[in-house]
Amino acid sequence: CTCKSWSDLIGSSSFISTHLHRNVTKHAHVYLVCLHHPNFECHVDPDDPYVKKDFQWSLFPNQTFDEFYKLSHPLGDTEHYGIYGSSNGLVCISDEILNFDSPIHIWNPSVRKLRTTSISTNINIKFSLVSLQFGFHPGVNDYKAVRIMRTNKNGLAVEVYSLRTDSWKMIDAIPPWLKFNWQHHKGAFFNGVAYHIIQKGPLFSIMSFDSGSEEFEEFIAPDAICRSLGLCIDVYKEQICLLFGFYGCEEEGMDKIDLWVLQEKRWKRLCPFIVPFDCEGTIGISIDNELLLERRDFIRGVSDLHLC
């Protein structure tokens, strides 16, 4: 039997925070959650493009992709779902194609528990574009989801969900520069702050939104970034970073991907990643600060994960 003082200790928020910090800093028990075709094989029937596709959820070790553990999907069906962020073992799941009324689920695969968020009471109109991000905000000790939505009449709405209170809040003060330029590019979530790439004509910038203080900020992107194709935002060594372009380099059969990090509100260019030329696209940065890429064999319909 466990004494009450010991039970109180391991259930306290300070103990839980310390345990999570230790696991994160030591990269203990770190896995990649992946939604994929069985054996990473995608078979497309040209005569029936709407044929049902099979997917499965798996856990991969942090440094290799040789072994994995198959997970049972908490909702039963895996066909039309996507992952919109994860933090400290919690995974945010919602519809593959997001709508304003898409249900949002917070899943803990290790204990096989699922929570479906409350329905927002703020939304009573339809939206044409919806983005969703999820993560932990250490400043307020809460898990947050940030939803940005473009209306059919070109309006913009931003909502924040709190896991602690199971409630949504509409953000009223949206800066004018964001209202007319948000275009649903891929974003990132780091330390409770949602980041998005926005475009104003030929110019690019990064929007940040702190889900705790509810403040917006804008950072002009480096001049070398001139298109959205091949542009990715992620986290590198505890800093927001931009990855851009696949272009040739001196090494035969290899390409370069440029890397910038945001330091004290200014961009610093670092050494580029050197990657195999047959990589299809950038997935992101691993917890060990390696570049995670997809290599696809179109003839066999097979994809592989690759670290650089």
Whether residue 282 has pLDDT greater than 80: no
pTM: 0.80
Strands 231-236 and 216-220, bridge-based pairing? unpaired
pLDDT at 19: 40
Q: Is 14 helix (H, G, I), strand (E, B) or coil?
A: helix
Query: Which has more confidence, 243 or 303?
Result: 243
**Please, which pLDDT band fits residue 257 given cuts at 50, 70 and 90?**
confident
Q: From CA 292, how far away is CA 304, in angstroms rounded?
A: 10
pLDDT digits (tens, 9 = 90+) for 93-137: 999 888 888 899 998 988 889 999 998 877 666 667 889 999 999
Question: 162 CB contacts (<8 Å, ≥6 apart)?
Answer: 142, 143, 144, 169
- Name the residue among 223, 212, 205 with its Cα closest to residue 265: 205
Average pLDDT of the chain to the nearest whole number? 78
Task: Write down the domain spans for the chain.
Answer: 1-71, 232-308
CB-based contact 150:205 (threshold 8 Å): no
Q: From CA 143, how far away is CA 145, in angstroms rounded?
A: 7
Cβ-based burial of 254 (10 A; exposed 0-12, middle 13-18, buried ≥19): middle
Strands 156-162 and 31-36, bridge-based pairing? unpaired
Mean pLDDT of 140-164: 89
pLDDT digits (tens, 9 = 90+) for 207-242: 999 999 999 999 999 998 888 888 889 999 999 999
Query: Which has more confidence, 201 or 3?
Result: 201
Whether residue 261 has pLDDT greater than 70: yes
CB atoms within 10 A of CB 172: 8
Whether residue 45 has pLDDT greater than 90: no
- Name the residue among 152, 154, 147 with its Cα closest to residue 101: 147
Q: To the nearest whole percent, how much of the chain has pLDDT over 70?
A: 68
Query: What would the DSSP string read from start to end of 266-304?
Result: EEEEEEEEEEETTEEEEEEE-TTSPEEEEEEETTTTEEE
Give the DSSP H or E segment for 262: strand 254-263
**Please, which pLDDT band fits residue 11 given cuts at 50, 70 and 90?**
very low
